[in-house]
Amino acid sequence: MTTQITKLLIANRGDIAVRIIRTCREMGIKTIALYESSDVGSLHVRRADEVVQIDSPRDFTNPDLILRIAHERGAQAIHPGIGFLAEDGTFARACLNAGIILIAPPAPVIESTHDKIRTLERVAAAGFPTTLHTSVNFTPEEFEALRVEAEALGYPLIIKSNWGGRGPGQHLVRRPDQLVEQVRRAHAESKAFYGDSRVYLERAITPAHQIGVQIVGDNRGTLIHLGEREGSLLQGNEKILEEQPAPCLNQQQREALWHTAIEIARLVDFQNVGTFEFLVDEKGNFFFTEIKARIQTEHPLPEIITRFDLVAEQIRLALGKPLGMTQEDVILRGNAMMCRITAEDPTNRSQASPGQLRRVRASGGIGTRTDTYVYGGCAVPLAYNPMIAKIATYAPDRATCLKRMARALEETTLIGTPTNLPLIERALASEAFQTGKYSTETRINLTNEELDEAYYRDLAVAVAIYHARRSSELRPEQPQRTQTGWHLSSRKLPE
């Protein structure tokens, strides 16, 4: 294996590709970005040193094509980013055989942790608490066997994709009469998003808190954690607001969770960067659920809290270098929050809203970070995940961090297509989030809520200004002063 990387192919797009490019530039590594026609204007295409056009979004999941481009362009490494081939053991093995460094956990780690049921069984056998689950996955043709297992497991239960875990393919089933429809949807989503329709069942813990512990490890057995974060505020299956540290835990619970995550990581011989996920019930008991053997969407939170560049460390660890710090070197400072801005219309059942963003203004100021691929005039493609930006804030305490996030959202401008910004602002201002007393059962509703007089006053002013500007554009008038003889004569060219 090479001990140096001079050129790296990013087998991904959007904000994570921009994020990887920035670290590579600081490390003196040239980058190759991939794009297809609908995504040609994205920021990662403009920032990379080289670009290669692919035929369709499906090409991001074509291992043979990705490897061929890497060889043709002279890349020694590939970063899979988030999604697509990020946790594909077959792709990891193909990179290993082709002599290409994959900036991810080693192939054996990806292969073993990707089998979610076997991982749960292995962790449970070692004496750690896990969620109750079925012992097998089910195909669409095995509904009757799934129904029997559901009755044995008991309701409420969660249907989860064999490939993706939470997110697409995950559905809560509260009653037996909901099972047929939710299983059908889960199979269809799993097939569409991951190419694998198999699902398994997990006994639901509700209400619960979704907690992830960030783990980093080298190939010498050194493991550290970078604290825990909570992502329990959901819209559908998707997290919308996350924060670190988790407000649902006290210090004793927090330290016990860190210790458990490290021990499970040691059990599976984990290397590189990943997240160990748990559910915490209302009594503070926690249960292991799965391992995400990749960098995650919410990685800015531990980076902000610890001042630790996870992408740079991924690259170092993939080269076989030792971890650059011990647990004693990790200092968890203050509070951080992150919201996911998506091109979805919260007033229309969160339908995707692709289109051109005519005007974009990112928030700034002290303790504020924005990760995005959009800018004024950029198009949001239909074919990809609708997330267009992540806004993160930091402060020494949670109250200040909340105020800073509110200010950052106020400063953010996205005009041209509907986004979920109004929903995020409502969620941030909710009593549940303000007090830190929220769970997976907390719901944020954008409609049917009493609004104060100032809101209607500001709305009326905005509508009046819009109407005046629109009317002026439709009926242009020439100023009187420009119609005088002196003015007209002064504009004549000399004969």
Any idea which residues carry the catalytic annotation? 294
Is there a contact between 167 and 237 (Cβ–Cβ < 8 Å)? yes
3-state secondary structure 58-104: HHHHCHHHHHHHHHHHCCCEEECCCCCCCCCHHHHHHHHHHCCEECC
Spatial distance between the Cα atoms of 448 and 445, rounded to a whole number of angstroms = 8
Which residues fall within 8 angstroms of residue 391, CB to CB, at 6 or more apart?
Answer: 338, 339, 341, 363, 368, 369, 370, 405, 408, 409, 412
User: How far from 484 is each of 1, 475, 495, CA to CA, in Å?
Assistant: 80, 21, 21
Phi, psi dihedrals of residue 191, rounded to the nearest 5° = -65, -45
* Contact criterion met (CB below 8 Å) for 179 and 187: no
By CB atoms closer than 10 A (0-12, 13-18, 19+), residue 222 is middle
How many CB atoms sit inside 10 A of residue 174's CB?
A: 13
Task: Match 């995005």 to its residue by tokens.
Answer: 372
Cβ contacts of 108-114, under 8 Å, gap ≥ 24: 108/269, 109/268, 109/269, 109/270, 109/271, 109/272, 109/293, 110/293, 112/268, 113/268, 113/270, 113/274, 113/291, 113/293, 114/87, 114/89, 114/163, 114/293
Cα separations (Å) of 432 from 44, 63, 256, 350, 441? 36, 44, 25, 21, 11
Name the packing angle between helices 179-194 and 143-153 (round to 10°).
120
